Amino acid sequence: MLRSIIVAILVVTAQLVATVQARAESPDCQGHWVWSYTLDRPQGSWSEDGHFYIVRGKIDGTVVFTPPFVGFIMTATAPIYEGQARLRFFNIFAFSDGVVVGTRFLNPAQDTVFQVTDDFVGTKREADAYAARETIEVTWDAVDQWVELHRWPVLSFCSFDTLRVGTWERQWGLAYQP
């Protein structure tokens, strides 16, 4: 009985993986793959004041992309947005009344996450290999310490579901379905 259950789980898992890969390699997706990087900030870790952060990308340990810093103000007069505010390469995004908004003002009680996404067009194997070479790091508030963001799995771009709240894009927005 247990062996039958394990075999059934393996078959279903293999079918799901094959479906995702087939969707990504379909004419609509043309082998387009995506993955995210995240670093959660503990809730309440930002003090009331001005802050900034810099996110940079590396390939094989060499910095290849460093956009300008993003500054923002933590103030008790700012609203608390739904879910997490996402600290991205060029802006901070939050979800407010069903709409994604850019902001430079956050409440110190706001839950925040550093989150960036990258993509690749090619085979799944090529996308996995590229993602394995890439790292994303962040530093904030003039601290001379870079912290590496966690990389999530490489998934099909066709698995985006804009109507479903998912784990890879956190509590709102685009969701990747395995």
Mean per-residue pLDDT, 141-164: 80
Question: Could you give the CA distance from residue 40 to residue 11 in angstroms, rounded to a whole number?
Answer: 35
- Reported as a single tens digit per residue, the pLDDT across 102-151 is 999 999 999 999 999 899 999 999 999 999 999 999 999 988 899 999 99
- Write out pLDDT tens, residues 16-62: 444 444 444 455 677 899 888 999 998 889 999 999 999 999 999 99
pLDDT score of 30 = 72
Q: Tell me 145's DSSP state.
A: -
Contacts 24+ apart (CB under 8 A), 16-22: 16/178, 20/155, 20/156, 20/159, 20/177, 20/178, 21/124, 21/156
Helix, strand or coil for residue 131?
A: helix
Distance CA 48, CA 61 (A): 34
Of 140 and 8, which is predicted with more confidence? Answer: 140
Q: From CA 140, how far away is CA 122, in angstroms rounded?
A: 34
pTM, two decimals, is 0.74
Question: Is residue 74 predicted with pLDDT exceeding 70?
Answer: yes
